[in-house]
Amino acid sequence: MSDVTRAEICVAACADLFAGAGETLASPMGLVPSLGARLARLTTEPDLLVSDGEAFLLTPESTVEGWLPYRKVFDVVAHGRRHVVMGANQVDRFGNQNISAIGDHARPTRQLLGFRGAPGNTINHRTSYWVPKHGTRVFVEKVDVVSGVGYDRAVGPFHDIHRVVTNLAVLDFATPDHAMRLVSVHPGVSVDEVQQQTSFPLVAGNVTETRLPTDEELELIRTRLDPDAKRDREVRS
Ligand code: F8G
């Protein structure tokens, strides 16, 4: 198939977050991560359980297949068989994430969502981040408030910040000191462009190009998962 969009590349990159997950609870926040989790379930990860973020488990076609209210989500968080893909108003080079407030904590200029599940998620199980607009406002030298805990803080054995997927690139923390590394740039994006949109130096040794979705994946995205192309509203470039 031709004319693959940036949003479709991001959906496939989000599906790849769940590679090898098996019977794990996927908690994707945002449309593109949600499409990615459902795509993974339909292709490589048939045992993936996909949460709606509220009280249900859903099939890829959004039919309810299980009941999972918050109190039960906390059981799974503590157990660890969960991979959450959260958003981030700010994220720094060691994967600290902020969804709480902007500015000085005593007098913030913006009150955001609060800490929500971020601290508990990041110390208990695998966590990834989705950033639909990669820019220096989000990728900061130091987050104003730590909601999700990064690699440079005291963390236990279950801390696992896996990847960051953005509208420009895929990044991870697979470096000796867990500083953020550029894994791949999406087709049409340069390494320089990603660096310019990031406030701290990225480790960028062996950067590849993010893969295109397969024909089967494109068919699934376009006809079964998101026939109204709502994904294009979340990712413009
Ligand atoms: C900024 C910046 C910035 C924003 N710098 N300014 C300004 C400067 C912006 C606007 C204003 C607002 C397990 C679990 C849970 C649960 C379970 C337990 C979780 C029970 C569920 C419930 C719970 C957490 C899940 C997410 C968040 C997903 C997003 C955001 C967003 C947009 C990032 C996309 N850097 N940034 N401003 N939640 N959502 O100019 O100014 O601030 O800006 O896991 O909860 O409790 O626990 O953010 O901000 O993952 O990521 O939606 O908040 O909408 O509107 O852009 O315009 O008003 O002047 P936003 P935005 P102004 S897990």
pLDDT tens digits for 105-149?
899 999 999 999 999 999 999 999 999 999 999 999 999 999 999
Tell me the H-state helices in 1-51: 6-17, 31-42
Helices 31-42/6-17 angle, 10° precision: 60
Percent of the chain with pLDDT over 70: 99
- Please check whether residue 148 is in contact with residue 154, taking contact to mean a CB–CB distance below 8 angstroms: no
The residue to mutate among 89, 140, 141, having the most atoms of ligand 1 within 8 angstroms of its beta carbon, is 89
Position 237 pLDDT exceeds 80 = no
Domain ranges across the chain: 6-234
CB neighbourhood size of 74 (10 A): 13
* Domain 6-234: homologous superfamily in CATH: Glutaconate Coenzyme A-transferase (3.40.1080.10)
Task: Report CA(98)–ligand 1 centroid distance (Å).
Answer: 8
pLDDT at 2 over 70: no
- The whole-angstrom separation of Cα 16 and Cα 102 is 31
Compute the distance between CA of residue 188 and CA of residue 112 in angstroms, rounded to an integer. 33
- For ligand 1, atom 25, the nearest C-alpha belongs to 86
Supply the pTM of this predicted model. 0.97
At which residue do the structure tokens 């990669």 appear?
134
Chain centroid, CA 195 distance in Å: 19
Q: Is the pLDDT of residue 1 over 80?
A: no
Site of tokens 């080079």? 93
User: What secondary structure letter does DSSP report for 24?
Assistant: -
What gap in Å lies between CA 91 and CA 171, rounded to an integer? 12
pLDDT tens digits, residue range 142-172?
999 999 999 999 779 999 999 999 999 999 9
**Which residue is closest in CA terms to ligand 1's atom 30?**
87
* CA triple 130-134-137, angle to 5 deg: 110
SS3 breakdown of the chain: % helix, strand, coil, rounded to 5? Answer: 25, 25, 50
Residues lining ligand 1, judged by CB closer than 6 Å?
27, 29, 70, 73, 77, 84, 86-87, 89-90, 99, 102, 110, 112-113, 116-118, 121, 137-138
Tell me what ipTM this predicted complex has. Answer: 0.95
Atom of ligand 1 nearest to the CA of 98: 35
